[in-house]
Amino acid sequence: MTNENLLPREVVGHLLHPDVLAGVWFTIRMTALVFAMASAIGVVVGRMHRSENPVLSGVAAAYVWVFGSVPVLVQLLLWGNIALIFPDITLGIPGVHIDAMRMVTPVQAAIAGLALAMGAYAVRALPEGDRVTALGDILVTTLQATSLVSVLSITDLLGVVQALEERNHLIVPLLVVAAIWYLVLVTAARVAVRLARVARGRSQAH
């Protein structure tokens, strides 16, 4: 008996839909960029946190406290509406006026929000244990967190699926499509991390 809400044929038919593949590729690129930024933030802020300079360590602690405590979704929404908070950026220079609405696009807001949130996670993760494992955890967490950027109307994997849902009302099948692709991407990331860990172990053994 076939579940009318699941529609397996629709799931299979949309797995390689051009819009879905474009969303997958966008998600991969955003994950790579945010991962690189978050890892760099984690290294820099981590060193500040371990510094004997009270100012540097205090700033680092405050960063981890704020960006590690506020939910990522809330941070994304704040960055997405940054123009409402700072509509006109002057940088303290007379005659310089930057329209934040035009300068800060939804994609830029999403990247900034994710990078800062994942950076706080990286500060805590990197100093502990195996660095390859820590970086792998950051990569997987970042990949999963990219699904939240759809709230900013960005055409990532989940955003594309939601747009398709509005057109054809295949809610469950398309959510299953998104779930399958996230499963594939996260599994690939974990396999890559495992291979990197094995390669590192072999290089240290020689």
CATH 1.10.3720.10 fits 8-201, yes or no: yes
CA distance 63 to 56: 11
Domain ranges for the chain: 8-201
Span 8-22, pLDDT tens digits: 888 888 999 999 999
pTM for this predicted structure: 0.85
User: DSSP of 125-183, one letter per residue?
Assistant: HTTSS-HHHHHHHHHHHHHHHGGGGGGGT--SHHHHHHHHHHHH--HHHHHHHHHHHHH
Helix-strand-coil split of the chain, %, nearest 5: 80, 0, 20
CA distance 11 to 7: 7
Q: How far is CA 41 from the centre of its chain?
A: 14
CA distance 172 to 28: 23
Span 15-67, pLDDT tens digits: 999 999 999 999 999 999 999 999 999 999 999 999 999 999 999 999 999 99
